[in-house]
Amino acid sequence: MESLTSGTWGQIVEQATVDGIPTFWVLSEHLIPLLRHLKHDEGFAMLYDLTAIDERHRRHRDGQPASDFTVVYHLLSIPNNTDIRIKVALEGDYPSIPSITNIWPTASWYEREVWDMFGIRFDGHSKMRRLLMPQSWQGHPLRKEHPARATEMGPFELTPEKEDAEHKALQFDPEAWGLERSSADSEFMFLNIGPQHPGTHGVLRLVLQLDGEEILNVIPDIGFHHRGQEKMGERQSWHSYIPYTDRVDYLGGVMNNLPYVLALEKMCGIDVPDRAKVIRIMLCELFRISNHLVWYGTYAQDLGQMSPVFYMFNDREQLLGIIESICGARMHPNWFRIGGVAQDLPKGWDTLVRNFLDYLPPRLKEYDTMVMKNRIIKRAPSASVPTPPRRRWSGGSLDPDCAPLAATGICARNGPTPDTTNSTSTSPQPTTATAMTEAWCGSRKCARACASSSNVSSACPAAPTSPIIHSLARPPRTAPCMT
């Protein structure tokens, strides 16, 4: 990053961070040319995140510039497997900063969210309107002066005047979104889907612009899913916030405990026992499979197949039974802790897991035949258009060619990335289910090989890479699960 300290971009201050990501403070007037340089000359093609911090009550700045608010840009270079964080200090109660939508179009929603939550305006943004909160909402929820509880806001009253105003705010205005109401020979229809609709699998509103049966545009209204978990965190302790992470993705369970406690452990310098680390990974993998089974079954159902969802939910029930035996709860076990897990594995856990590993791979092969070889599914990839990797990254997407294998850890983030720019193949890509089958069969074989030996590394045929069971099969009696 020598180019950042050359003086070309004005006064840049580097900030030491616990996570090791290079972090630099830059003046607002140098932001746009610096970000262009990082994207086009340094290879940071993806805007990974854009957020803000209300700094007005900060007491320990540790060398940070004085500011009322901070806007944070997190960039990612996939070919170089490198992150960089750019920060801009802003002063004033309602500051502004240049929009970067002309560099990364995906910044549009990020900037709308920051304005919605903090009241920071982005000069040059073409649609600076709320993203998550209702258009009629007063205030910006992640500012420190905004109430954190409904009880702090007084009793709610829905007067006839307020009800009329709320209905009016929900009416869709095509002109506000730059959409035409008609063409030269047709009048367009605007169709509202949701927010309560079985096809959205959640509280999501979609406004469709239709020309007959052809969908011309879709305007999503995503705010119905926003539960204010960031605001809830302001009134919780580090430990008491863990149950909220269970519900970030309500099907992911402990998978959302993990990044939260990992971040805290890194900040605090806490060493987690190896046994607890492996227990965590095993529970995350179980929840990942459970999550994927829900997606797989409902995806097939959305396309017109009714049987798969019943079969896969039955498999998920068996898996949730294992999770309940270990954690004491099913979907939201709140089981990870800062420094480890809540308790050690119960007697007989390994039998339950081994039986499931024997049971699931044949089922996944059956689902491949039932779903992925169905002509409804097989016709879908033939209409896809390969996109150059750099365009995907700039548009905010990781490489989809690697996604099926990345789910099993076979394709690492810094591994080779297939370039399908000139590909003419229309055959379906390997499915997640197939990759999962191969990965889990491998761990099952390792488990069997290790079952009769206390020396895991010598008994396991795939030893340093095979996960989960063999590393837990014969633990020392005194191995702690918490620090």
Residue 276 pLDDT > 80: yes
- Quick one: 444 exposed, middle or buried, by C-beta within 10 A (0-12, 13-18, 19+)? buried
pLDDT digits (tens, 9 = 90+) for 144-159: 999 988 888 888 889 9
Amino acid 196: pLDDT: 78
Domain regions of the chain by residue span = 2-136, 271-374+435-472
Q: Is residue 294 a contact partner of residue 368, using CB atoms and an 8 Å limit?
A: no
3-state helix, strand, coil in the chain (%, to 5): 40, 15, 45
Distance CA 440, CA 272 (A): 26
Residue type at position 446: C
- Quick one: 216 exposed, middle or buried, by C-beta within 10 A (0-12, 13-18, 19+)? middle
Q: Which of residues 6 and 164 earns the better pLDDT score? A: 164
What is the topology classification, in CATH, of domain 2-136? Beta Polymerase; domain 2 (3.30.460)
Distance CA 176, CA 392 (A): 28
- For residue 368, what is the DSSP state? I
- Give the model's confidence band at 380: pLDDT under 50 very low, under 70 low, under 90 confident, else very high: low
Q: What's the CATH class of domain 271-374+435-472? A: mainly alpha
Question: How many residues are listed for the chain in this entry?
Answer: 483
Query: Of 139, 145, 17, 152, which is closest to residue 86 (Cα–Cα)?
Result: 17
Residue 251 pLDDT > 70: yes
Q: What angle do CA 309, 298, 209 make, to 5 degrees?
A: 150
- Of all residues in the chain, what percent carry a pLDDT higher than 90? 52
- Quick one: 126 exposed, middle or buried, by C-beta within 10 A (0-12, 13-18, 19+)? exposed
pLDDT digits (tens, 9 = 90+) for 194-213: 887 776 777 888 999 999 98
pLDDT digits (tens, 9 = 90+) for 415-458: 333 333 333 333 333 333 333 333 333 333 333 333 333 333 33
- Give the model's confidence band at 393: pLDDT under 50 very low, under 70 low, under 90 confident, else very high: low
Q: Which of residues 464 and 239 earns the better pLDDT score? A: 239
| Residue that is written with structure tokens 């890479």 in the block | 465
Distance CA 433, CA 435 (A): 5
205-211 and 189-193: which strand pairing? antiparallel
Residue 75 pLDDT > 70: yes
Distance CA 57, CA 52 (A): 14
- Give the model's confidence band at 377: pLDDT under 50 very low, under 70 low, under 90 confident, else very high: confident
Q: Is residue 396 a contact partner of residue 106, using CB atoms and an 8 Å limit?
A: yes
